[in-house]
Amino acid sequence: MSPMKPLAQYGEPTNRSTALALDAADPLAKYKQAFQISDPDLCYLDGNSLGRMPLASVKAVNDFLTQEWGKELVDGWAHWIDEAQAAGNLLGRATLGAAEGQTLVQDTTSVNFYQLCNAAIKARPGRKTVIIDSSNFPTDRYILDGIAKDLGLNLITLNNDGMGGPGQVDVAADCELITPEILEPFLNDDVALVTLQVIHYRSGSRPDVKAITDLVRKHGGLVVWDASHAGGAIDLQFDAWGVDLAVGCTYKYGNSGPGSPAWLYVNKSIQSQVLPTIQGWFANDKQFEMGPFFEPADHIRRFQIASPSIIGIRAMQASYQIIEQAGMQAISEKAALGTELIIALYDAWLAPLGFTLLTPRDQNKRGGHITVGHPDAKKIAAAMRSMTNTIPDYRTPDSIRLAIAPLPTSYTEVYDGLKRMRDLVQSKKYLEIQDSGSRVT
């Protein structure tokens, strides 16, 4: 597979022929057919929230129902029992740069985050400070706040977006980005845990995972990374970067379906030092002896709580096999080029209409989505859906996220979506939009 050339070599970004030329040269173009495309006119730019459905998932789930559960009944457990680990190995290999035995596919990102944050804090006894940023995803902020209250810890919220939070301290960050320089003044021998996003959910910024992990380690603390918006979009190399602990979901760029099982990663080098807070029976070393005492396995299973969702795992495996085949290098390259196209169209079309760019221009500092700000963002995002057959998403207070999910999204889809967005805002027709009444944005 030959690598893609820089954007400028395909032509002027505002010409549709440029997007068509990008698609013609795209080594991943064929993968769009692997997904259900019910409406070919729809520009789906929200793969950063919920990925499209791979056609292979239908067969995988159906086969599970009829050939496994339906036929095998309880005997199926003989081969289902370790599926959280098998699925974890696939996900780790395909998307995390993780060798076997360090990843589990189970539960939700929230539960996995709770488990790993608690484990990290307890692995640093005597340390009483935990650090998060105010632009972090709500579930991470709320869960860490709960843990801090439970364990009597001092929670520092780095106020990098002006929204504040418990124990807030103001920091000057560009595009919300937490850098080692911003973080370092808060690190000392009282800090047990720092938790950050690999790709910021709102702004799309990407911190330097290795540099921050090394810095926190130098001060004796641990980092829990949330890679929900990064997995399947950028080429993660957790083993090589020395990441200790990480979590993420599988329903965004992982295309595994709404509520699909999430994952956790615990580096082999620290597995013996960290323990689960929710001591489920799957974590017990001799699980089927069902003994009176909890004795955790000395490997990744010590973080498994309970029965894996096999139906969810079958859908997830179908999707991650496609990702593995396509390869994260090609996928991350398309995310970089596709987001560059979005930025070029933003410069030409959106900036003159009063939009601002909230994502870094440096492709090493972003992932698969670009975020633009506008005072009428909520209305514009809703009108794009109902009036132009283009799906972005809105995030409070004033952001619209526009993503290229590299496997199912074409460059032309991105181009058409951005053009419809420009025309809509230029015409001011979006001002006529009525609130849909949905709780979801």
Ligand X SMILES: Nc1ccccc1C(=O)C[C@H](N)C(=O)O
Smallest separation, CB 122 to ligand X (Å): 27
Confirm if 101 and 89 have CB atoms less than 8 A apart.
yes
Torsion angle (degrees, nearest 10) of CA 206, 210, 213, 217? -160
**Which residues contact ligand X (rule: CB under 6 A)?**
49, 201, 228, 440
User: Is the Cβ of residue 290 or residue 440 nearer to ligand X in the bound state?
Assistant: 440
DSSP conformational letter for 102: S
CB nearer ligand X, residue 52 or residue 124: 52
Pairing between strand 154-159 and 222-226?
Answer: unpaired
* Beta carbon nearer to ligand X, 6 or 138: 138
**Minimum CB distance to ligand X, residue 369 (Å):** 9
Closest distance of CB 84 from ligand X, Å: 20
Q: Please say which residue, 192 or 249, places its beta carbon nearer to ligand X.
A: 249
CA–CA distance, 331 with 114 (Å, rounded to integer): 30
Q: Between 248 and 296, whose beta carbon lies closer to ligand X?
A: 248
Helix orientation angle between 138-151 and 109-122, rounded to the nearest 10 degrees: 40
What is the C-alpha to C-alpha distance for residues 104 and 265, in angstroms, rounded to an integer? 7
> How near is the Cβ of 423 to ligand X at its closest, in Å?
26
> DSSP string covering 9-55, please?
GG--TTSHHHHHHHHHH-TTGGGGGGB--S-TT-EE--TTTSPPPBH
Q: Locate tokens 């795209």: which residue?
A: 26
CA 248 distance to own-chain centroid: 6
Distance, in Å, from the CA atom of 162 to the CA atom of 171, rounded to the nearest integer, reads 9
Q: Give the β-pairing of 263-266 and 103-105.
A: antiparallel
In the complex, the smallest distance separating the C-beta of residue 439 from ligand X, rounded to whole angstroms, is 9
Residue number, 49 or 112, with CB nearest to ligand X:
49
Minimum distance from CB of 437 to ligand X (Å)? 16
Q: What's the min distance (Å) between Cβ of 226 and ligand X?
A: 10
Residue 228 or residue 317: which is nearer to ligand X going by CB?
228
In terms of Cβ atoms closer than 10 Å to its own Cβ (0-12, 13-18, 19+), residue 180 is: middle
Closer by beta carbon to ligand X, 260 or else 267? 260
The neighbour count for residue 297, using CB atoms within 10 Å, is: 16
Least separation in angstroms between CB 237 and ligand X: 23
Shortest distance in whole angstroms from residue 228 CB to ligand X: 6
Place of tokens 């801090």: 148
Return the axis-axis angle of helices 377-388 and 411-427, rounded to nearest 10°.
Answer: 110
For ligand X, give the closer residue by CB, 49 or 203.
49
In terms of Cα–Cα distance, which of 231, 205, 217, 222 is closest to 103? 231
How would you list the strands of the sheet with 356-357, edge to edge? 356-357, 369-373, 399-403, 393-395
